[in-house]
């Protein structure tokens, strides 16, 4: 297991007003709308989610780094757990022509509005119940998704990632101090697992997850 950071450059481009997030709109109502994983979360107001999650090429740099790090090549198979609209999967197919990609998500809205080029490769499925055979993929990754699961589903999801992939990569939200904890609490809408890096490492140990990982911090 290694700490491999593919996401900081994308995460840090977004400017966040943490106090406005909790003062300008009822947080409980915003979370309720976000957890429907529908229009409000993906393409509605910024107060209830992304504020419009559209393809803009930002994931190309991540795809380049991942493809290089894991030596991805034509004919290999990749699974994205929590693929959303499939933007990163699309970029991976552009970086590595002939790569076989599969994405799963629980959001009907995201799957319906996914990038057309990869939409046929996307399926509605839960992260803790993956309907694929053992070692089916050369790379299984999940980016900013598994912290949205309650602990009993997280346990299964991490075990499933370990079961399915030759290489694994996970990125989840975390905090290193009280300031980052408060910022995470203020900003998040869908998070269920509020864990420090030490606690995440405990989860990796008890589930047998041996893949790579990194954390998103709200500094």
Nearest partner of 192 among 152, 156, 148, 159, judged by Cα = 148
Is there a contact between 167 and 138 (Cβ–Cβ < 8 Å)? yes
Q: What is the pLDDT of residue 11?
A: 84
Percent of the chain's residues with pLDDT above 90 = 94
Query: Residue 179 belongs to what H/E stretch?
Result: helix 178-187
Q: What is the pTM of this model?
A: 0.96
| Res 15 pLDDT > 90 | no
pLDDT digits (tens, 9 = 90+) for 58-80: 999 999 999 999 999 999 999 99
pLDDT digits (tens, 9 = 90+) for 142-194: 999 999 999 999 999 999 999 999 999 999 999 999 999 999 999 999 999 99
List, in order of start, the domains of the chain with CATH numbers: 8-43+54-217 (3.40.50.150)
| Res 55 pLDDT > 90 | yes
| Res 13 pLDDT > 80 | no
CA dihedral 185, 153, 52, 25 (to 10 degrees): -30
């Amino acid at each position: 297991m290694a700490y491999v950071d593919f996401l900081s450059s994308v995460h840090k481009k977004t400017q966040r007003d943490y106090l406005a997030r909790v003062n300008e709109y009822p947080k409980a109502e915003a979370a309720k709308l976000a957890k429907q994983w529908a229009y409000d979360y993906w393409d509605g107001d910024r107060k209830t989610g992304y504020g419009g999650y559209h393809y803009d090429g930002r994931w190309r740099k991540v795809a380049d780094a991942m493809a290089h790090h894991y030596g991805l090549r034509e004919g290999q198979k990749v699974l994205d757990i929590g693929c959303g609209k499939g933007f990163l999967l699309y970029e991976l197919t552009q970086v590595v022509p002939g790569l076989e990609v599969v994405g799963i998500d629980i959001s009907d809205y995201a799957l319906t509005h996914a990038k057309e080029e990869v939409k046929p490769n996307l399926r509605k499925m839960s992260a803790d119940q993956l309907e694929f055979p053992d070692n089916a993929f050369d790379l299984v990754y999940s980016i900013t998704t598994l912290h949205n699961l309650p602990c009993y589903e997280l346990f299964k999801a991490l075990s499933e990632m370990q079961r399915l992939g030759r290489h694994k990569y996970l990125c989840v939200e975390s905090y290193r101090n009280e300031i980052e904890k408060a910022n995470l609490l203020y900003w998040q809408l869908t998070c269920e697992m509020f864990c420090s890096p030490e606690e995440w490492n405990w989860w990796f140990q008890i589930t047998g997850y041996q893949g790579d990982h990194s954390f998103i911090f709200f500094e």
